[in-house]
Each structure stands twice: as C-alpha cells, then as structure tokens.
Amino acid sequence: MAEREPEIITDKDQMRKWSRSMRAQGKTIGLVPTMGYLHQGHISLIKEAQKHTHLIVVSIYVNPGQFSPSEDLSTYPSDFHGDFEKLKTLSGGVDVVFHPHNLYDYGNSDTISRSSSNDNDREERSEKGAVVSCIEDRKVGHETWVRIERLEKGMCGKSRPVFFRGVATIVTKLFNIVEPDVAVFGKKDYQQWRIIRRMVRDLDFSINVIGSEIVRDADGLAMSSRNVHLSPEEREKALSISRSLLRAKLDAQNGQIYSKEIRNLVIQAIHEAGGRVDYAEIVDQESLEAVEEIESPVVFCVAAWFGKVRLIDNMEINV
C-alpha cells in the first residue's frame, strides 16, 4: 500500500466531528491510545486494530493524570516527529493522529507543564494526606475521576496509587472524544488492560476492547518506551525478568502448582541480577486475585527497578 500521511488533529471538538462524519458514512473506527515514543510494540497494536475496523486513530498524549508529582512525567520520552514518520510509512495506514496539547485545559490559565510537574522537592500528598496526581498538584480544577475499585488496588496500584484512576479517566475522555468501535491495548500492561475491559463493561461503553500480545526484542526484553533510559549494563540485567518468567511458566506446565515457590525463584533471579522487585504476583487472569495454587488460567505479573527505570512484564500461564 502506498505511503499515506495521517491527518493530525489537536482539537477535541474537531476530533469528535471527524469521527461522527466517518461513522455517518458507515465506517468503523479503531483507536490505539499511546503516550508516544512509538516502538514495534505500538505498531503491533495498530496492526491488530487494522484487522477489525475501516479507519484507525492513534492518540499520542502523555497523560499527567496518571503521574504523581514525584514520578517521571517530565522525563517521559517524547519524539512526535519520529512517531509521525513511523505512522506515515506504516503498511495499511493510519487515518488520524490525535495529538491534543492538554485534555485538562478547561479555559483556565494554569495548564499542566511537563517540565514543571516533576519536582522531587514538592510534597506528593495534599493537606488531607491523600496521594495526588500532577493534575491536582497544579490545581487546574479537574476533580472527576473514574475508579475501578477492586481491580486497581493490587500490583501496580499499590506503589502507584493515582495511576489507574488516571488511566481510566483519560481513556474515558478519549473514548468520549474519538467514539471508536474498537480499542486496542497491549497485554504487557496486563492490569491496565483488565481494568479498561471491566470499565467498558460496567459503564456500558459500546466498544470492543482487544488485548494484543506482548512484543519482545530478540533477547526477550518486553518493549517499552522506558527502555531507552536503561544503560547497556542495566538492560542486560533486566533480561532476568523475562527469563525467570519463562522458567516459571515451564515449571507450572511441568506440574509445579505452588505459587510461593515459583514466585520466590523469580524474585531471587531478579535480586541476583541487581534488580529491586516492586511486586511479583501470580493472579487469576480475570479477577486479578492472588492464587496460592495454580489450578486454572493465571498470569504472573512482575514489576522491578533496574537503576532508575521501573519495568513491568508478565507471562500468562494456562493450565
């Protein structure tokens, strides 16, 4: 297929108008939400979306609502020109790149700045003691949040308490703006994918949420925009995550059913490689509740720090 340059839309009203115009013509729309700095993992999501709809919208927006003031909003990698060039040459094409400046701008002057939102000297908690996001920290007036109360509590929700409400809220906003028929999310962010599916079910969105399989580099490291921050030595050490997860899967398939023993082997492997484990949990694929014995489909989810980079990965185990 010949190179096709996507239309860039930055205004949410214009985005909604485009979608409604296309739907009036009988076209179906697929949405791939991203925070940019696109890699082959993102491309795989777009290719999956192409299988299901006539038209493709890729959103590129680094969402401040899912970062606390002490997290890496200001250093999150960004390369819109490079992203656009990748999308322009993609086989099958992308129809629209939705690239809003600020989805929390309601006409007030105090907008979110990525360069000023990551200040480790600022307190992460409000006067009432609640953990806040960069949105609340800047006091821009946004106070409506979407919560998936049970699924958001474990794993990434423990160490990043504002993350999933920020994700659920921005995805809701994108769904209301783009009005897609299909949305594709990567299963590398397994908890996020399950949360979005539950939100869509519970709030009656007429959207089919598809989970796309993890894309890995040749050495097995799960692709992530944050990988760019790893030094060569840290990157080599980070391979302990995927390698130990694969061994865990093989152990389970060979009859090891006790989660604690499998978890301990993975934690040990990451520690020996110089990593710091945030969590290593074997949970039910649907409920995300921890299981002591593997007797039904589970997913082994891991988050670990190597240097200043927090990586996540998972392995589905179907027994």
Residues acting as catalytic residues: 42
Query: What Å distances lie between residue 79 and 1, 38, 248, 271, CA to CA?
Result: 25, 8, 36, 33
In which order are the strands placed within the sheet that holds 309-317? 276-284, 298-306, 309-317
**Contact predicate 248/300, CB 8 Å:** yes
**Contact predicate 102/112, CB 8 Å:** yes
The Cα 280–Cα 300 span in angstroms is 7
Task: State whether residue 65 is helix, strand or coil.
Answer: helix
Tokens of 33: 């939400």
Strands (E) in the chain, as ranges, are 7-9, 29-34, 55-60, 96-98, 182-186, 208-212, 276-284, 298-306, 309-317
What are the backbone dihedrals phi and psi of residue 120, each rounded to the nearest 5 degrees, phi first? -65, -10
The Cα 250–Cα 253 span in angstroms is 5
